[in-house]
């Protein structure tokens, strides 16, 4: 089930890019460009939202006012501020209003995703958490990927924290282990489209994953010149 977010940001370019990325990360996102629109939407659909993300500098009602109105409707709402306002009084005010987090712009989008997932994780009942923990751990040869924590465990070493994109790419390669995976297929599945510049990004991520996998005794990424890659897991059958 997709988690639903209400996102309030009046800067069009930033709002659009952030919304698209969050949707790519499997969230459902309602994006509003004004405080009034956000309040009205929350009033109608308050039970649907797992988290509200609010900018402070909005064209009509500031983010603090939006948070206050939303809390009047639902005192137990989970919300965070995502704003360029970095001054300590603003941070204190935001947290005093009940925000679970206060993130300053510019921000790292993968870090934002991780923070959102951590917040939503604590809303889940304990029994369901245990089920999701099991389903979110992948055994990849002699490695283990915890998708929830974005951690790659390597025998005899401290777990390595991956970026969201690295974890997604590793999971996709593992789903297609021991067969030829075309570059275009990877780009469309992970990035949503295939072009030259995204192809260069893929090459960078492959190099980084290779370095991480270098300590594994049975997992590696092989090039198939002009075609793509083979994610090789020795002695393991394809899942």
Percent of the chain at pLDDT above 90?
59
pTM of the shown model? 0.61
> Quick one: tokens of 13?
């370019």
Quick one: pLDDT at residue 71? 93
- Which burial class, exposed, middle or buried, applies to 128 when counting CB atoms under 10 A from its CB (0-12, 13-18, 19+)? exposed
Q: Give the span between the Cα atoms of 40 and 43, in whole angstroms.
A: 5
When pLDDT is cut at 50, 70 and 90, the band that residue 132 belongs to is: low
What pLDDT, in 10s, does the model give residues 67-111? 999 999 999 999 999 999 999 999 999 999 999 999 999 999 888
Query: What per-residue confidence (pLDDT) applies to 239?
Result: 41
- Ramachandran assignment for 23, one of left (phi > 0), alpha (psi -120 to 50 degrees), beta (any other): alpha
DSSP assignments along 114-125, one per residue: HHHHHHHHTTS-
pLDDT value of residue 114? 85
Residue 200 has a CB neighbour count (10 Å cut-off) of 9
User: φ and ψ at 220, to 5 degrees?
Assistant: -155, 165
Positive or negative: CA dihedral 121, 122, 127, 130: positive
- Average pLDDT of the segment spanning 159-184: 91
Res 124: pLDDT: 67
């Amino acid at each position: 089930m997709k988690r639903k977010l209400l996102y309030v940001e009046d800067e069009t370019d930033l709002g659009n890019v952030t919304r698209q990325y969050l949707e790519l990360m499997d969230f459902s996102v309602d994006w509003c460009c004004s405080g009034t629109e956000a309040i009205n939407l929350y009033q109608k659909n308050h039970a649907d939202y797992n988290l509200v993300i609010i900018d402070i500098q909005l064209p009509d009602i500031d983010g603090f006012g939006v948070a206050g109105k939303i809390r009047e409707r639902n005192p137990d709402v989970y919300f965070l501020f995502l704003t360029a306002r970095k001054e300590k009084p603003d941070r204190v005010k935001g947290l005093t209003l009940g925000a679970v987090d206060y993130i300053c712009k510019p921000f790292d989008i993968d870090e934002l995703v991780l923070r959102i997932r951590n917040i939503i994780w604590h809303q889940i009942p304990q029994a369901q958490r245990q089920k999701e923990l099991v389903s979110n751990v992948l055994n990849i040869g002699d490695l283990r990927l915890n998708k929830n924590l974005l951690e790659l465990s390597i025998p005899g070493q401290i777990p390595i924290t991956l970026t969201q994109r690295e974890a997604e790419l590793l999971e996709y390669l593992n789903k297609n282990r021991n067969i030829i995976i075309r570059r275009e297929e990877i780009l469309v599945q992970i990035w949503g489209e295939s072009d030259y510049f995204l192809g260069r990004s893929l090459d960078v991520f492959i190099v980084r994953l290779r370095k991480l996998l270098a300590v594994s005794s049975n997992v590696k990424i092989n090039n198939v010149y002009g075609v793509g890659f083979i994610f090789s897991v020795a002695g393991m059958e394809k899942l």
